Chains A and B, each alone.
Chain A
Amino acid sequence: DVKVTQSSRYLVKRTGEKVFLECVQDMDHENMFWYRQDPGLGLRLIYFSYDVKMKEKGDIPEGYSVSREKKERFSLILESASTNQTSMYLCASSSLTGDSPLHFGNGTRLTVT
């Protein structure tokens, strides 16, 4: 069974802290994505990567960075956490084939106080 694993289900951090969200997939997928999900706003793309060490900004990259040193791992970094980054963060992966579905992890609920 395909699997996308996010390292933490819940995180509580203080304003100004540096936060790392980790995601690992076991499907040898080329594409990996970070979305945030907020009520009434749906899923919004933060960053995505189509290959190792390659990254592209999504729709809301401000305040975030990413790292992809290995194909299976995609990390989201909040350089200095702020309260408006309190959200559910979802990692996903897909193959390069057109119309391939996204496989999601179960999410990390981050609270910044």
Chain B
Amino acid sequence: EAGVVQSPRYKIIEKKQPVAFWCNPISGHNTLYWYRQNLGQGPELLIRYENEEAVDDSQLPKDRFSAERLKGVDSTLKIQPAELGDSAVYLCASSLLYEQYFGPGTRLTVT
């Protein structure tokens, strides 16, 4: 069974530029999560989807971050414009119930 797939794995951009991350969850997993992991910290939830519906986006900085999950499968997380403080690893996870499976993450560096 394929795991959670994320791309790109690494991204370097200049501040004020836009960036997008893509996630393909495990087949059949209705719940999809985006986390941000800062250096030396544990992951922090940005947004959670149940199928196509964003059911928890309270931690998503909505002035510059947006996300979508069309057709309840793949998801895209976008930042526009990026700031220096957005440098982090962005993790996608999916679950059928409470056990979450994580992808390898996208390491974003904003210069």
- Chain B binds chain A: no
Could you tell me which B residues sit within 8 Å of A by CB distance? none
